Structure 1
């Protein structure tokens, strides 16, 4: 109905929400997601915040830690909180690409091949122990994570939107695993280590009734469609040229440092600004500041850098982040940005 029609009928036109309203609504939903997970799980709140920011930014998340920390539970909780279609894939060394993407089967009645979709055709894909997949299956995941589509028998199929992979891997048990190649690591927006819970939290967890589902009390906070709207709202947050230049300077530092053999890619810069925009949105800002970029850099860049020191390259995530911090500390932040 046009504005003139509204004037003739006397019914007021419904005003469209401005950018400030959209940002406030998006920030409220993201905050509610973090609070809901914090009330349910025995994880550090900082880890939960990073997980939610990654999903809200439209990125894939890699959870890496020792067994029994709750990686799979967190992945399930994230999927449940946004009420999206969920599929869980338990990766094994003998898994074929068709086990993930789907397969074409000949239909005797129709006398033609019919494509049966695999578990990748979900909005939230829980990829458990992804490093146990063989290189051929990992390649199939690579196309899905980057292109949001899969190709089977020469035909390309679009994946649902939003499409998010929440993957877990165990860095301790390496027997029967295939380390993720740099190209696939680069597809993950963030790599996160949960760490052990504090003593009080672990005590409370042990006192809970045995056999109880830890997610029984978790209610959905938003829909997958809401999440896509939040991603679009954050993408419109302003980035000044000085802040963008600062982000590029951080990337260049990883490429020129003697502490690295391979620096962060331009794709890493896009992911860095996406996470910085989301952080700005949650903090109620209309623009990204240099502090947002610097705060997100260790979480976005560490897994995209190959370190020169073998003990660092094969070491825990915390040590790699410490080394990256030394590299980034030499980059001066722009004034008033």
Structure 2
């Protein structure tokens, strides 16, 4: 565990850290529920590091079969030695069970139903019967922690009541503006605190814009600051250059936001609008008496 991750975990997350530690100490399984970029994985990694136990991470997707989760017999060794326990290759679930560690399942609502049923049985009984291997019981300290974004409807399935009945739920919303500014300060360079605060405000505004169905997480602010830094260096301009910041915002945020179906505008137009709202108009336009609207319209037409 790096010092950076440990520091990020505690930014505006003291309550969630305390709740997770208490739930795990009681022997409960936990679901961390919240939008992307709210620190779910970082929080768990910090708590896991403090436990001095193993930590197995699996990504929930259509390819997470029961065999990949539980483990399998090595085919080559089976041919020569048969189905012996020592030729079984533990998957992340059995690894966590044997070592009394944490199994972290990302994107729980993307896990196939068959695999989820296997996981539910282990969560209830803390043991599993594997064909030709036998019964495997979980060592003390074993727990399942899952994470999910309840607002993502693409490629996901509804999480059943059976999951919630076997888990405790910790809801994680976005941090405060001050906390997000701290996170960005730890992860990316910024021309000044004032610039960083405006960038944070811009990204937070994407979450409330009436034409955006999904806004950006703090990761968007981190990328905005990082791209702005590199663009300014490449162009040989000041790091608070207005146009470098606009281009960085377009690159960092236009793919992260989702425009509502009722809107006729493209994400680039909305990001440009929010950028002007938080960073002002282009100083070069003010110098030549133009408001810059014609040039920005040409830029948007070119992007189309």
1:94 corresponding residue in structure 2: 63
1:84-118 C-alpha deviation (Å, 9 max, x unpaired): 01100111023210110111234233233532211
Displacement of 1:56: 1.2
Q: Secondary structure of 2:58's partner?
A: strand
Q: TM-score, normalised by structure 1?
A: 0.48
1:48 corresponding residue in structure 2: 17
1:63 corresponding residue in structure 2: 32
Work out the number of aligned pairs and report it.
175
1:29-64 C-alpha deviation (Å, 9 max, x unpaired): xxxxxxx97884223322222111111111111000
**1:38, 1:191 → 2: CA distance?**
24
Matched, 1:117 2:90: yes
Matched, 1:75 2:59: no
Matched, 1:167 2:140: no
1:128 corresponding residue in structure 2: 106
1:216-263 C-alpha deviation (Å, 9 max, x unpaired): xxxxxxxxxxxxxxxxxxxxxxxxxxxxxxxxxxxxxxxxxxxxxxxx
1:1-337 to 2 correspondence within 5 Å?
A: 40-106=9-75, 107=77, 108-113=79-84, 114-120=87-93, 121-122=95-96, 123-153=101-131, 155-188=134-167, 190-210=168-188
Q: TM-score, normalised by structure 2?
A: 0.53
> RCO greater where, 1 or 2, for CA within 8 Å and sep 6 or more?
1
> How large is the RMSD of aligned CA atoms in angstroms?
2.2
Q: Is the 2:73–2:83 contact (alpha carbons within 8 Å) kept by the matching residues of 1?
A: no
Q: Secondary structure of 1:127's partner?
A: strand
Q: Is the 1:91–1:127 contact (alpha carbons within 8 Å) kept by the matching residues of 2?
A: yes
Q: Is the 1:92–1:133 contact (alpha carbons within 8 Å) kept by the matching residues of 2?
A: yes
Larger radius of gyration: 2
1:267 corresponding residue in structure 2: none
1:53-86 C-alpha deviation (Å, 9 max, x unpaired): 1111111110000111111111111111111011
Q: Is the 2:8–2:42 contact (alpha carbons within 8 Å) kept by the matching residues of 1?
A: no
Q: Is the 1:93–1:177 contact (alpha carbons within 8 Å) kept by the matching residues of 2?
A: no
Q: Secondary structure of 1:103's partner?
A: strand
Q: Is the 2:106–2:148 contact (alpha carbons within 8 Å) kept by the matching residues of 1?
A: yes
Any gaps of 5 or more consecutive residues in structure 1? 1-35, 212-337
* Higher percent of residues as helix: 2
Q: Is the 1:103–1:152 contact (alpha carbons within 8 Å) kept by the matching residues of 2?
A: no
**1:55, 1:175 → 2: CA distance?**
30
Q: Is the 2:27–2:143 contact (alpha carbons within 8 Å) kept by the matching residues of 1?
A: yes
Q: Is the 1:128–1:169 contact (alpha carbons within 8 Å) kept by the matching residues of 2?
A: yes
Q: Is the 1:63–1:194 contact (alpha carbons within 8 Å) kept by the matching residues of 2?
A: yes
Q: Is the 2:6–2:46 contact (alpha carbons within 8 Å) kept by the matching residues of 1?
A: yes
2:201 corresponding residue in structure 1: none
**2:169, 2:129 → 1: CA distance?**
27
- In 2 relative to 1, CA 208–98 (structure 1 residues): closer, same or farther, beyond 3 Å? same
Q: Secondary structure of 2:80's partner?
A: coil
